[in-house]
Amino acid sequence: MEVQCLSVPNPYSYLICAGIKEVENRGFGTDYRGRIYIHSSGRYAVRGMPPLDDCPVPVIHEFNEFLGSIQEMEKTSRYIGFADAGVNVFLKNEDRQSDRAVNEYALLSDVYRLYHENPRKPYFLVNAIIGRVDVVDVRQDSNSVWAESGYHHWILSNPVLFAEPIIKVRTTRTGLWTYEMAETGPG
């Protein structure tokens, strides 16, 4: 079955498929509407999260800030240590959090759970089709925190992050491209 794909650099590809980033900025528009499969490109991070300093991800930023404080306390303490960097966290007031915050926390939890299982295995893969979304609109005036001025804003919905990505998919294409997916493939 032939499907439409879009290559997105890691970690943005994962943020899209996890339902955190609902706008993809492109220098071009498209008339295409419907399902696209997200191809993760770029570099992967072996240990934990890739750098997200410039991303509007408040849950991850708060976690990293506190983790940095814990690491500093352990470095300066004479008698007290923190097992697993003292990390035992939960999402406060989960029933009152936005879907985006819940999704961001779930992604963060998955990354660190996998890290504790195997610190050398990357969570954020590249050269892989990692999920799918629907393109529901393309415009240049989105008010999303992810929308960048001067770009076409591809408005995305219905994200799915595959439990088993399709690996070893290499491409240099930047627009929509087709991929021949096995009938029994993910979603």
**Residue 10 and residue 28 in one domain:** yes
Q: What is the CATH number of the domain that holds 22?
A: 2.30.130.30
pLDDT at 42 > cutoff 80:
yes
**Residue 53 and residue 117 in one domain:** yes
**Domain final position from 123, 143, 163:** 123
Work out the average pLDDT over 93-100.
91
Q: Give the residue, 87 or 7, on which the prediction is more confident.
A: 7
* Among the ranges given (105-109, 129-133, 156-160), the one the predictor scored with the smallest mean pLDDT: 105-109
Closest CA to 130 of 44, 29, 34, 51: 44
**What's the predicted TM-score (pTM) here?**
0.84
Q: Position of tokens 């690491």? A: 71
The amino acid sitting at 93 is N
- Structure tokens belonging to residue 132: 């799918």
**Residue 79 and residue 132 in one domain:** no
- Domain carrying residue 25: 1-44+124-187
- Structure tokens belonging to residue 14: 């994962």
Q: Choose from 46-50, 65-69, 168-172 the range with maximum mean pLDDT.
A: 168-172
**Residue 113 and residue 155 in one domain:** no
pLDDT at 176 > cutoff 90:
yes
pLDDT confidence of residue 38:
98
Cα 21 from chain centroid (whole Å): 8
- Structure tokens belonging to residue 149: 């001025």
The amino acid sitting at 63 is F
Closest CA to 36 of 138, 118, 120: 138
**Domain final position from 67, 93, 123:** 123
**Residue 174 and residue 145 in one domain:** yes
* Among the ranges given (9-18, 29-38, 77-86), the one the predictor scored with the smallest mean pLDDT: 77-86
pLDDT confidence of residue 50:
77
Q: Using 50, 70 and 90 to split pLDDT, how confident is the model at 159?
A: very high
**Residue 52 and residue 36 in one domain:** no
pLDDT confidence of residue 44:
67
* Burial profile 33-55: b = 16 or more Cβ within 10 angstroms, e = fewer: eeebbbbbbeeebeebbbebeeb
Work out the average pLDDT over 15-29.
96
As for how many domains the chain has, the answer is: 2
Neighbours of 21 (CB within 10 A): 27
pLDDT confidence of residue 169:
95
